[in-house]
Chain A
Amino acid sequence: MKILVAVKRVIDYNVQIRVKEDGTGVVTDNVKMSTNPPDDNAIEEAVKIKEAGKATEVVAITVGEEKAQETVRKALAVGADRGIHVKADGILEPLAVSKILQKIVDKEKPDLVFMGKQAIDDDCNQTGQMLSALLNWPQATFASKIDVKDNKLEVTREIDEGLETIEINVPAIVTCDLRLNEPRYASLPNIMKAKKKPIEEIVASDLGVNVSPRLEQLKVEEPPKRKAGIKVANVAELVQKLKNEAKVI
């Protein structure tokens, strides 16, 4: 069994996001970038499945600018066997990414495609679902547990009401939740080895996919600042303020 894992380069989750003054987006210059956190879980799970002898190859793929290749290199350092970098600049919407992934799936013929449940930059949570539709493959989203059983997967999903366990046929798409596993550290020798693993570079336009955005972004702005809280003297004053000022009771 072969697993394709999609990873995305995003602003590091510890960095405080700043909106560009002209409202065209967020500041990415001089900002620490990292792999999208749930994508790390996706890679970890694929590598674990391979280590358990249930998969033969883990291929990491990213779509994006030149530097996005770092995320593939990191995936190789934690156990992926080889990488693919589909080069494309500018804003990439989930539909464009899923169409590119579809082309790569046609070429690579993996049995499973893993990715994070959503990216922490745009929070779209769409790429996995769109890919599933494009390929007409079953999907299991928000996976917090994956059991590989012959040609089936038993997947536990994080849903609003609690946990839901479903069984789907392979080939399939799985989007991974943060609770799925604890990603391993890339060890120094493995980082060295990763430098020698192959990464295939493909230009997005060569795949015949139109990646131009379908959505028009009007403006990006910061959420309004919260007003400072106040202290009230007693319950009566609180009730009075909730009633007359906040008008919530």
Chain B
Amino acid sequence: MSRESMEYDVVIIGGGPSGLSTAIKLKQLDPNLNVCLLEKASEIGAHILSGNVFETRALDELLPNWRELNSPIKTKVTKEKFLFLGKTKSLSWPTWLLPAVQQNHKNYIISLANLCRWLAEQAENLGVEIFPGFPASEILYNEDGSVKGVATQDMGIDKDGNKKDSFEPGIELLGKVTVFAEGCRGHLGKQLIEKFELNKGKDPQQYGIGFKEIWEIEDKNHEEGLVMHTAGWPLDNNTYGGSFMYHAENKQVFLGYVIGLDYKNPHLSPYDEFQRFKTHPAIKKIIEGGKRISYGARALIEGGFQSLPKMFMPGALLVGCDAGTLNMPKIKGSHTAMKSGIIAAETINEHLKEDKDLSIYEDKFKNSWLHKELYEARNVKPSFSWGLILGIIFTGIDQILFRGKLPFTLKHKHADHETLKPANQMPKIDYPKYDNEITFDKTSSVYLTGTNHADNQPVHLKLKDPNLPINYTLVKFDEPAQRYCPAGVYEVQKENDVNKFVINSQNCIHCKTCDIKEPSQNITWVTPEGSGGPRYGNM
């Protein structure tokens, strides 16, 4: 079937900090470049979720006058706390004993979604064409195998794959260079990494699942500018994770939890660990009497330096978390994503003007502060595979004494889908009931995300083998999808004594956890119809 096509100098997939920075930098370098940017969400920012304590380093380079441009970067970090949680007690760690990478006094508490909306305005003012509601669903290749562009998703297909009256075919967007900026576990990025073997010789990629809730809390508990992190309870020593609580403007706190997806116990429910975490006296006293106004979850990429794939290929570049530029010990990926976008734009400009090969992206990356940052951070995440306590001791030595310059690199040994142990060998976890004041069930949480997918469309969570969940995954792992999915998409239902695997794809909040953690890699996340998914506000 022939589709309409449109030609651009550069086509960018994804309207997050990396894609938007690429777009802005390109137009700064050459206002005559034709640049378009596709975003699958109904508007820029609606699928973005992040803590976020923002380091302005990359933004200072991209838009040095950002303070004069009415940017949504307002709340400066004024105070920091780090707590180790026991079941009921908490121990405050002096901040001067934190490694420099975890000190935030120059940073800002922001909503990344709002930052992206603002960056999109800057990009549009420079002439970038931004199309929200149009997921790129397919990579297009030239005859020589190089990337030619992408096709957007067909609209108006019913659940059986037939065209509805409203059918609107996808469009081919062809770029001299295509930039993939889909964020963590981008579904096209994943295909490119495989096709071009971009991860050859690299450690397996590592991921986490991050939850975030926004609470409006009582005045007396609110301390604008306060940044607090915790480690410890409710996770055991062998599970990597921790919390954040950022006191933002308007009496809001951004409260979240991140758990490494290399956890071993299939009975573990990341969602319930987060809910339980909020009942700790040190946390509960802050949010008690407040109101939860938002909820969301998103996978994040944690492999860092060792797992970072080659970021260029014929006709295309990977930027930001689509490649994996997050700095794990800093728990920050926005400034690194933006920097990778800036470097990508410089690369593309030289490629188009001076016919230089896209491989100069790698050289530019190696000569940048981004490389230095990721290199020095590289040993922190793998050291936590020895457990929380040894991880902290090692990180102290590595980050405080040696500042990331130890003469060796620890390896990530396993991909996250390989780490689950059989259900019958691991302890069951008895999670407390939700109290509907501090803790809530998944249904009422998903309700707050504003998630919607037009009904009567194909299921966008594809099973390679439809029988595997019941015949194998349920038997061996007690089907962990029921627990790792933060939106209750997957259920095992009993019908006349026969187990049935149900996919409630309309609840999907596009976090990509299933695509990562499914032990047999049996679930593939593909793009649903445009605009589908969450409608996050200031996440």
Contact = CB atoms under 8 A, between A and B. Distances in A.
Contact of A192 (B42, B129, B450, B452): B129
B4 interface: yes
A50 to B, nearest CB: 17
B166 A16 contact: no
B166 A15 contact: no
A172 to B, nearest CB: 27
- Chain B, interface size category, equals 20 to 34
A14 to B, nearest CB: 4
The interface centre, meaning the residue of A18, A186, A188 with most chain B CB atoms within 10 A of its CB, is A188
A14 B446 CA distance: 11
Nearest to B171: A188
B439 to A, nearest CB: 15
A152 interface: no
Nearest to B41: A32
A32 B538 contact: no
B165 to A, nearest CB: 6
Nearest to A191: B131
B322 to A, nearest CB: 22
Contacts of A21: 216
Contact of A15 (B131, B134, B535): B535
A184 B131 contact: no
Judged by DSSP, the binding face of B is mixed
Interface in B143-163: 152, 155-156
Contacts of A188: 6, 131, 134, 152, 171, 173
A229 interface: no
Contacts of B253: none
Contact of A31 (B134, B173, B216, B537): B537
B487 to A, nearest CB: 14
A161 to B, nearest CB: 28
Interface string B120-156: 0000000001010110000000000000000010011
A100 B538 CA distance: 34
Contacts of B111: 30
Interface string A171-200: 000000000001111111101100000000
Given A30-B538, A189-B4, A12 B42 contact: yes
B272 to A, nearest CB: 20
The interface centre, meaning the residue of A16, A29, A31, A191 with most chain B CB atoms within 10 A of its CB, is A16
B134 A32 contact: no
B84 interface: no
Contacts of A16: 447-448, 450
A186 B152 CA distance: 13
A182 B171 contact: no
B114 interface: yes
Contacts of A31: 537
B46 interface: yes
A55 to B, nearest CB: 20
B451 interface: yes
A14 B450 contact: yes
Interface string A189-220: 10110000000000000000000000000000
B46 A32 contact: yes
A32 B452 contact: no
Contacts of B447: 16
Contact of B156 (A12, A15, A185, A189): A185
The interface centre, meaning the residue of B134, B155, B452, B537 with most chain A CB atoms within 10 A of its CB, is B537
The interface centre, meaning the residue of A12, A14, A34, A182 with most chain B CB atoms within 10 A of its CB, is A14
B535 A14 contact: yes
A182 B4 contact: no
B410 interface: no
B194 interface: no
B168 A30 contact: no
A183 B156 CA distance: 11
B450 A15 contact: yes
B216 A32 contact: no
A192 B129 CA distance: 9
A185 B535 contact: no
B293 interface: yes
Interface string B338-375: 00000000000000000000000000000000000000
Nearest to B216: A21
Contacts of B538: 29-30
Contacts of A186: 133
A12 B535 contact: yes
A14 B537 CA distance: 12
Contacts of A185: 155-156, 166, 168, 530
Contact of A184 (B4, B166, B171, B530): B166
18 contacts: A12-B42, A12-B450, A12-B535, A14-B450, A14-B451, A18-B293, A30-B537, A32-B535, A184-B166, A185-B166, A185-B168, A187-B155, A188-B6, A188-B173, A189-B6, A189-B171, A192-B6, A192-B129
Given A30-B538, A34-B42, A185-B166, 11 more contacts: A14-B450, A14-B452, A15-B450, A29-B538, A30-B537, A32-B42, A32-B535, A182-B166, A185-B530, A188-B171, A188-B173
Interface of B: 4, 6, 42-43, 46, 111, 113-114, 129, 131, 133-134, 152, 155-156, 164-166, 168, 171, 173, 216, 293, 447-448, 450-452, 530, 535, 537-538
Rank and list the top 9 A-B pairs by shortest CB-CB distance, nearest first.
A30-B537, A30-B538, A14-B452, A185-B155, A185-B168, A32-B535, A14-B450, A188-B171, A15-B450
